[in-house]
Amino acid sequence: MKRGPKIRVATCQFAVSGNVRRNGRQIRRQITAAKGLGADLVHFPEVALSGYAATDFPNWDGYDWSALRSETEAILALAARRKVWVVFGSSHPLSGRHLPHNSLYVVNPRGRLVARYDKRFCTDGDLRFYSPGDHFATFDVKGVRCGLLVCYDMRFPELYREYKKRGVQLMLHSFYNARAGGAGIHTIIMPATLQARAATNYMWISANNSSGYYQSWSSLFVLPDGSIEGRLRRHRAGLAVFTVDRSRSYYDAAGGYRDRAMRGILHSGRLVADPRSRRRKAL
């Protein structure tokens, strides 16, 4: 991994709702608080501004797209005033009868929208309300290459691996595992899977989640060795600022052979030509 400057990432959570105006106010409050703590980049959960169809509101009938646009513009303006990068989840309307994308918007410190990632792997439930995306999205902050994923995308390690091939060092992975009936399998497997993704690909991961009750797991930040550097309190709005420091080295068990594996060489060392090696049903 290239050495270089540090960046400070604010991982944020709050109880995302179907009230776009309320969501917008919360996002702006947390942007201001994060900047005050020295953040270079402020990261929010899946559909943080728009709310989640079927969970926060029943369907798109009568949805206030004009309010969503004005709140989006207010976030862009605040990013420019605070001179900070902002990544936030929302719903991106399409034309005609096409369903919206479940998206992450990337806003630079001049308040300009510079990238958008659309959730590629939508669940069967998602597909009733959202259209899947078809592209990867990267951007650089102080020389750190950042990538974007949304929730269910985590189940597909191929996405992480492709981002690794594209030089991503920090993954901003936004979730909505909230408004659940109580603790479940997500409480157990989500942090562990994120730790595995980080260690397998040697990258930092900011993973945040709506804090609406019941929040299956709290937002967290994972280091390239797979250890969790910090978590937010479950069921509470809040944020924490973490540092991506490329001058530090972390334990990387796969480091010596990861590039080979990504090229399709799925073994270490040199293979031998030996008949006893080929006889797999004999002692």
- Residue 194 lies inside a defined structural domain of this protein: yes
Domain-embedded: residue 269:
no
Does any domain span residue 260? no
Residue 279 belongs to some domain of the structure = no
Evaluate whether residue 235 is within a structural domain.
yes
**3: confidence class by pLDDT, cuts 50, 70, 90:** low
Which three-class secondary structure string do you get for the chain? CCCCCCEEEEEEECCCCCCHHHHHHHHHHHHHHHHHCCCCEEECCCCCCCCCECCCECCCCCCCHHHHHHHHHHHHHHHHHHCCEEEEEEEECCCCCCCCEEEEEEECCCCCEEEEEECCCCCCCHHHCCECCCCCCEEEECCEEEEEEEHHHHHCHHHHHHHHHCCCCEEEEEECCCCCCCCCHHHHHHHHHHHHHHHHHCCEEEEEECCCCCCCCCCEEECCCCCEEEECCCCCCEEEEEEECCCCCCCCCCCCCHHHHHCCCCCCCCCCCCHHHHCCCCC
Binned at pLDDT 50, 70 and 90, residue 1 comes out as very low
Q: Is residue 145 part of a domain?
A: yes
Give pTM, 2 decimals. 0.96
Tell me the CATH number at 129: 3.60.110.10
For residue 32, is it within any domain?
A: yes
pLDDT by residue (tens digit) across 58-98? 999 999 999 999 999 999 999 999 999 999 999 999 999 99
Find the mean pLDDT for residues 104-118: 98
What is the number of domains present in the chain? 1
* Residue 196: domain span: 7-250
pLDDT in tens, 123-159: 999 999 999 999 999 999 999 999 999 999 999 999 9
Q: Looking at the domain assignment, is residue 255 inside a domain? A: no
Give the mean pLDDT of 245-273.
Answer: 96
